[in-house]
Structure 1
Amino acid sequence: MGESFILKHPRDEFLLWAPGRFSDIDPPLLVLGRLSPGDELSFDQIFRGELEKAEEKDIWKLGCNDLHPPLEDDRVYHYWFEIVDTSPDEHGTMLVTDPLAYNVDYTLNGNMRNQPAAVIKFREGHLHPCDAHGVEDPIRGNRIEAPDLKELPNNNQLVIYELPASWARGSGGDVKRDVGKFGDIVGLLKEVDGGSTDNPQESEKTIIADLGINAIELLPAADAKPTGEWGYATAHYFATDNDLGTPTDLISLARCCQEKKIRLFMDMVMAFGHDPYIHIAYSQFHLRPQREQDNADAWQSSRDKELRAGFGGESWRYIRATDTTDPVTGISPAANERRFQYICPASAFHLLHLERWMSDFGIGGLRLDSANNIGNWDFIRRYKDDAWKRFASRYKTPQSQPEEDPDLRHKFLVIAEELAVPIDMIRSRCVNALWNEHFQRLVRATIVGESSGGDNFEWTVRKMIDCRQISFWNGKEDPRFASGTEAVNYITSHDVEGMRKERLYNYLHNIGIHDNVEKARRAKLAFVCLLTAVGIPMIFADEEFCDQHDNFTDEIVKHPSKQTDPVNYDRKTDEWRSEVFDYVKELVGLRTKCPALGDDDTDFFYWDFSNDRRIAAWKRGRADHDPVVVVANFSDQHVPTRAEAIPNWPSRLDNKQWREVIQGREIPQEWVGREDLYRWEAKVYTCWKKRSPIQLDALEEIALPEWRNCAHFRKGWRKIAAEGDFNNGLCVVDHLFTSGLSLLFRQTKSG
């Protein structure tokens, strides 16, 4: 897909798109100047003048070379648009930020009303996006390369790490810190600056990379007004958050993720905003639902009789259409044969910023916040379709349904968050997946031996481990999750408000489990369930080592204080927490690599509820994959070694050896299905074994000389080398070199 009309507009004009807003006798003004350093930073205004009406309807612009006095070369300028406020609050004449600004600066916020300045550099006759210090954004088209499609993790083997970027700096000891930056996340992924990390604490060193996850979901990275919070008060949709870093910093993080083969998901907020259009053209972009209750746009989409909520911002208006220039296509009623070009301004605006994030930061997936509160499934579907087309355009010409393309469909995902889990959003193709709020409820019940939701304990476990068993009966039909890639499971998310939603440590503590060793038992059991269940597992930052809330004296976590209680990385050095981390790390490695856990196939083959026990055993994986078997004890009863093996124990492929995953123990055949279980313990077994990587150069040394330059040969051997599996990799090229390559295979294997 190409660039939108407005985003590819020549970079030599200040431009404002304002549907249905201004007239020739009342145009918007440009206010521009420079910061003057000193004891008290001040603003020197250089220019204040009217923008000119463009040929395209509702677009106002002014050439940067038409200003008097002229702009100086290689200078950084701050600017606003001066307008009369159109919001219901009627603030009068005020300065607002450019809605398309790529960089904003809050330095003058206290002196210049309530809107930060947009920042730009004038160089060689053009305008260049830059930060307040003059560091320019990487040029468009050279921001981030598309990674090799085959190296991207598949959706069915993702483990997502949900991370507020501000927490990447964490806290420790008696020092309270937050407002981490994109560069701090890089420091959690790889060693930088000569072996140290961006973070000053040694205990934080590369913790995310060490965990082995293959996807990071950043809480909103677009600019938001508050400092030290999580970005859900999005204000400037094209700019990276001023507190978290510049676009260049985010690009560095995106590149680091690509190097680590980690997909970068981005959290998008489109139900409500704190944006400049609230003041520029309120009625075209926003509404207050309580004032328009006869308007379908005022109501949440799948909750009966519940108005949309602004959470301190203004709800976006997604139904009203306006005859204005389409900023995506550039089609204008002023220049079009047709009389009108009706579009929804809010929808068009969000498609524009989607293009910015997809094109410039290499986003590998999206999470849509508060989907019901967006209130318009047609818009969400269009947004999802556009995201898929932009992802597909990195690799090929997008088709009408790129998410069905066999090369692409496992490599991208649009996830919606709505705690009511409106499964119809998936069935109607609005989104690809939903947060599975049920998993959190079910897992927190099972690890303390409780049933949940009116089910008995067996069905509580069944629904937890296989999301396809959860019923969403609506009175007419019973839609369900159809596959694991439609559900995102989590023990904890950033929504830690309220009982049984807090961090796992605090949940266990609040229900009376005060011993840390006992907390570790329950945490390990919870992570076994999470990482062997059908569904995409998501780990909230710091849960992998059982961090805890520090800022609360009562049991209930409240907003917004939950956002300012960052990770304490020092706690990871506690012996019991370190053991939990290592335990989770082993399970993450299994989840991201073992083919059986990428399957949906699940077989519950054993239950034991005798003598106050709650024992369950399940197998994951198709018949042609080495199985993963879990035997879990959801009780405080120790189960001694069995005289007889658990009945119906799954068979092995090719008589391979069973192995217990966490300790890496090979299990003699006579012990299979007989091992004892301590209370609140799960054992995970598999016949699958990750092969050690094979050096491609060593293989090529023994290849016949005439084969070494053959593209098919090299491609086949690269697959063998990457997987470390001769048997599977051989079939890739065996049809080309059946006799000769088979001979080489035998020689290599024997040698």
Structure 2
Amino acid sequence: MPTVKLSAQDRALLLDGAHYDPHALLGAHPVEGGTLVRALRPLARRVAVRAGGADVPLDDEGDGFFAGVLAGPAPEAYQLVVAYPDGTELVADDPYRFLPALGELDLHLIAEGRHERLWEALGARPMTHQGVAGTRFTVWAPNARGVRVTGDFTHWDPTQLPMRSLGSSGVWELFVPGVDAGALYKYDVLGADGAHSLRADPLARRTECPPANASIVHRSSYVWGDADWLASRAKRPAHAAPLSIYELHPASWRPGLGYRELAERLPAYVRDMGFTHVELMPPAEHPFGGSWGYQVTGYYAPTARLGGPDDFKHLVDALHRAGIGVLIDWVPAHFPKDEWALARFDGTPCYEHPDPRRAEHPDWGTLEFDYGRREVRNFLVANAVYWCEEYHVDGLRVDAVASMLYLDYSREDGQWLPNAHGGRENLDAVAFLQEMNATVYRRCPGVITVAEESTAWDGVTRATNHGGLGFGFKWNMGWMHDTLLYLGEDPVHRAWHHHRMTFAMHYAYSENYVLPISHDEVVHGKGALVSKTPGDWWRRRADVRAYLAFMWSHPGKQLLFMGQEFAQGAEWSEAEGPQWWVLADDYVAAGDHRGVRDLVRDLNARYRATPALWERDTDPGGFAWITADAATDNVLAFLRFAADGSPLLAVSNFSAVVRHGYRLGVPGLADAWREVINTDELRYGGGGVTNPEPLKAETTPSHGQPVSVTPTLPPLATVWLVPA
């Protein structure tokens, strides 16, 4: 029986991947006298339809089209039997006999930019549809002329699987029977500019290992074991709990280890060192390893360099079971221009802003997201939720927030346009950050968000319903810059820079702060922490020990980058990782580095055991200066108070001389005070100037306090005292 011929126009549109509704032409359709079945298999030698136990050959119509008419109505189910020139024969259900596998509610939420679990609607999803196992492919490309899915299951022939447009949502969809987890795929996008480009899936949950960049169909089989952790993490507000963060670059913490191997070693080390949390530099997929993850192309996939998605889950799970929280760096500020990724995804500015003055990031050679476009905002908000819900992470440290907030960030006059009110604030980015924070905190109890924000923007950690951005914490970049500048001065000059150590207390309670000594401070020629200080090796280590104890006792949570916990001498290199060898028995100065490591371990232990150091971090009543103006002595002393009023006295002597009998006022709460931390102890590598016996509280008033103590202050050291 003759078939209904394709029009020349339809044939051309299908072959060029430009047809918005290929299901109208391919698959089974009623015609006079029976059912027309048409298939597009450009690599095939012959194609037949298998239905009711019989095979009906289809006629070769050229250009890869095969068609024939079956007698009677369309069968409820049929398969295509496809023979190839090499003699192989494949039998599979016809993709073009299936209804859309994406529901109307999903499409509505996507169009509204309100799909909070977007990864369940877009991307590659293995599923059973109309009783057949396969994978649903869905991608948002609103201005594309056509989209096709291709992969190892089509021998990377881009022609045979055109997708259908699902209307004004901008989503393209195709259910492909027989495709399962592990299959490689990409999208062939015919852009609005008339050019084809082969694209990785923006919602891919797994990717090839760079430099390869195909997406991989993924189905998780991981069984979590951290239910107790998830149930307990929200019981105490993070602001009133100990929070001591160990930042690391997973690929170089121990070079060569994958997620599974890290899970065997990292939790034990972090737990031994006493940190409450780790912060992983961006785990999302990125093409250039030297970007350390800060130029992301696969926002929904952990980098394949260290293993698969379930391997990453295993690492998070192992940390949780060891009692350690997991924060990740998250990068919604910009993305790279790779032509196979997000840039001009549908032939137009799609994820990036259409105005070049808003799209091009002047510092990093990347593109900025269009935060005013609801689908783009949804892509990012859902991504924040994704890492928290699918990977159980406990927090997001949001990178480069300042670059998002200001339209003139790193731009000269004439390179930016004011907002609708004539100001420099990026109102779209503000709305996005507010929505992201509000959504994460609503959906994920116990999760925190942390802003890397370096300006004086008002209300970074204020609640969104009070006009703030809604972050839980903000990195205190001012504290970090000021104190490191002070630390870099020779002790004889520090008197002239004393204000750098005290200024942060003028604004300490304007936001909820984290004190960050991060990777940014130990790369690009800045040197390691220990190399920032003047003097000989002993003095440098003493300065670092004193500084770390000052940091641990200062209001705010603390973050320390890997390698700095044992005072490695070289700045960080992602190719080498921390200098673990300086701790080895056969290294001549191993004891020096071990001393700093042991101090950090003890600081964490004492910190966690002392509510005065964290319980009232956001309460001005939890802090009191004893002396903030002893500039000529290079001495700082302050009290921290727990909720029950129990105090800790922290005293730092950043001069190179011993100060005997240094009188300091203390509350009249105890008859004596004892030393619980002294960074000059011999076991830390110090000179051994300590106060071994409890210090009797004398009735001599001092510093506005009713009694006083007179400890000996070691040189370049910090001492913590508590009531005996």
TM over 0.5: yes
**Are positions 1:674 and 2:685 aligned together?**
no
1:155 to 234, 239, 247: 239
Q: Decide whether aligned partners of structure 1 residues 251 and 665 sit closer, same or farther in structure 2, where only a CA change above 3 A counts.
A: farther
After superposition, the C-alpha distances for 1:588-608 in whole angstroms (9 at most, x for unaligned) are 122223110112422221367
Q: Which structure has greater strand proportion?
A: 2
Query: What's the secondary structure of 2:569's corresponding residue?
Result: coil
Is the 8 Å Cα contact of residues 143 and 361 (structure 1) preserved in structure 2?
A: no
Is the 8 Å Cα contact of residues 633 and 681 (structure 1) preserved in structure 2?
A: yes
Q: Matches of 1:609 and 1:267 in 2, distance apart?
A: 39
2:207 to 104, 120, 135: 104
1:459 counterpart residue number: 499
Q: Matches of 2:201 and 2:331 in 1, distance apart?
A: 19
**How do 1:4-43 residues align onto structure 2 when only pairs under 5 Å count?**
4=117, 7-8=120-121, 11-12=126-127, 13-22=135-144, 26-33=145-152
**Are positions 1:627 and 2:647 aligned together?**
yes
2:604 to 573, 583, 588: 588
**How do 1:631-642 residues align onto structure 2 when only pairs under 5 Å count?**
631-640=651-660, 642=661
2:663 counterpart residue number: 646
Give the unaligned 5+ runs of structure 1.
36-42, 66-70, 110-115, 121-128, 131-135, 170-177, 191-205, 299-306, 322-343, 396-410, 471-479, 552-561, 689-751
**How do 1:326-365 residues align onto structure 2 when only pairs under 5 Å count?**
344-365=374-395
Is the 8 Å Cα contact of residues 81 and 97 (structure 1) preserved in structure 2?
A: yes
Letter in 2 for 1:167: S
2:300 counterpart residue number: 238
**How do 1:330-729 residues align onto structure 2 when only pairs under 5 Å count?**
344-375=374-405, 376=426, 378-394=428-444, 411-427=446-462, 428-430=467-469, 431-448=471-488, 457-463=497-503, 467-470=504-507, 481-482=509-510, 486-497=512-523, 501-508=526-533, 512-513=534-535, 515-549=536-570, 562-573=573-584, 574-598=590-614, 599-600=616-617, 601-606=622-627, 609=630, 613-622=633-642, 624-640=644-660, 642=661, 646-652=663-669, 658-662=674-678, 667-670=693-696, 673-687=709-723
Q: Decide whether aligned partners of structure 1 residues 32 and 53 sit closer, same or farther in structure 2, where only a CA change above 3 A counts.
A: same
2:222 counterpart residue number: 138
Q: Matches of 2:570 and 2:323 in 1, distance apart?
A: 31
- Count of residue correspondences: 543
2:215 counterpart residue number: 118
**Are positions 1:292 and 2:377 aligned together?**
no
Q: Matches of 1:569 and 1:437 in 2, distance apart?
A: 28
Is the 8 Å Cα contact of residues 162 and 219 (structure 1) preserved in structure 2?
A: yes
Is the 8 Å Cα contact of residues 33 and 77 (structure 1) preserved in structure 2?
A: yes
Query: What's the secondary structure of 1:105's corresponding residue?
Result: coil
After superposition, the C-alpha distances for 1:270-319 in whole angstroms (9 at most, x for unaligned) are 11113733142354434479x634xxx45xxxxxxxx7436233221123
Is the 8 Å Cα contact of residues 426 and 432 (structure 1) preserved in structure 2?
A: yes
Most deviating of 7-16 and 141-150 = 141-150
Q: Matches of 1:5 and 1:670 in 2, distance apart?
A: 63
Q: Matches of 1:273 and 1:98 in 2, distance apart?
A: 15
Q: Matches of 1:605 and 1:420 in 2, distance apart?
A: 29
Stretches of 4+ aligned residues off by more than 6 angstroms: 139-145, 450-455, 663-666
Letter in 1 for 2:551: L
Is the 8 Å Cα contact of residues 635 and 680 (structure 1) preserved in structure 2?
A: yes
Q: Matches of 2:323 and 2:456 in 1, distance apart?
A: 30
Q: Decide whether aligned partners of structure 1 residues 144 and 368 sit closer, same or farther in structure 2, where only a CA change above 3 A counts.
A: farther
Q: Decide whether aligned partners of structure 1 residues 433 and 451 sit closer, same or farther in structure 2, where only a CA change above 3 A counts.
A: farther
TM-superposed CA distance for 1:417, in Å, is: 1.1
TM-superposed CA distance for 1:489, in Å, is: 0.9
Query: What's the secondary structure of 2:666's corresponding residue?
Result: coil
**Are positions 1:189 and 2:266 aligned together?**
yes
TM-superposed CA distance for 1:75, in Å, is: 7.0
TM-score for the superposition, normalised by structure 1: 0.65
Q: Matches of 1:615 and 1:227 in 2, distance apart?
A: 44
TM-score for the superposition, normalised by structure 2: 0.67
Q: Decide whether aligned partners of structure 1 residues 32 and 139 sit closer, same or farther in structure 2, where only a CA change above 3 A counts.
A: farther
**Are positions 1:81 and 2:180 aligned together?**
no
Query: What's the secondary structure of 1:316's corresponding residue?
Result: coil
1:252 counterpart residue number: 314
After superposition, the C-alpha distances for 1:226-254 in whole angstroms (9 at most, x for unaligned) are 13541111001111112132211121121
Is the 8 Å Cα contact of residues 502 and 628 (structure 2) preserved in structure 1?
A: no
- Please provide the CA RMSD for this pair: 3.7
Query: What's the secondary structure of 2:362's corresponding residue?
Result: coil
Q: Decide whether aligned partners of structure 1 residues 378 and 159 sit closer, same or farther in structure 2, where only a CA change above 3 A counts.
A: farther
Q: Identity over the aligned pairs, expressed in percent?
A: 17
Give the unaligned 5+ runs of structure 2.
1-113, 128-134, 406-425, 585-589, 682-689, 698-707
Q: Decide whether aligned partners of structure 1 residues 247 and 142 sit closer, same or farther in structure 2, where only a CA change above 3 A counts.
A: farther
**The structure with more radius of gyration:** 2
Query: What's the secondary structure of 1:547's corresponding residue?
Result: coil
Higher relative contact order (CA 8 A, sep 6+): 1
TM-superposed CA distance for 1:444, in Å, is: 2.0
TM-superposed CA distance for 1:86, in Å, is: 6.4
After superposition, the C-alpha distances for 1:157-199 in whole angstroms (9 at most, x for unaligned) are 2011111111221xxxxxxxx3643334323334xxxxxxxxx
Q: Matches of 1:250 and 1:528 in 2, distance apart?
A: 33
1:313 to 357, 366, 370: 366
Query: What's the secondary structure of 1:277's corresponding residue?
Result: coil
TM-superposed CA distance for 1:208, in Å, is: 2.0
Query: What's the secondary structure of 2:173's corresponding residue?
Result: strand
Letter in 2 for 1:277: L
Q: Matches of 2:524 and 2:211 in 1, distance apart?
A: 38
Q: Decide whether aligned partners of structure 1 residues 454 and 567 sit closer, same or farther in structure 2, where only a CA change above 3 A counts.
A: closer
**Are positions 1:64 and 2:176 aligned together?**
yes
Letter in 2 for 1:634: F
After superposition, the C-alpha distances for 1:17-73 in whole angstroms (9 at most, x for unaligned) are 334313xxx4211112259xxxxxxx66597321112356311111122xxxxx37x
Is the 8 Å Cα contact of residues 486 and 494 (structure 2) preserved in structure 1?
A: no
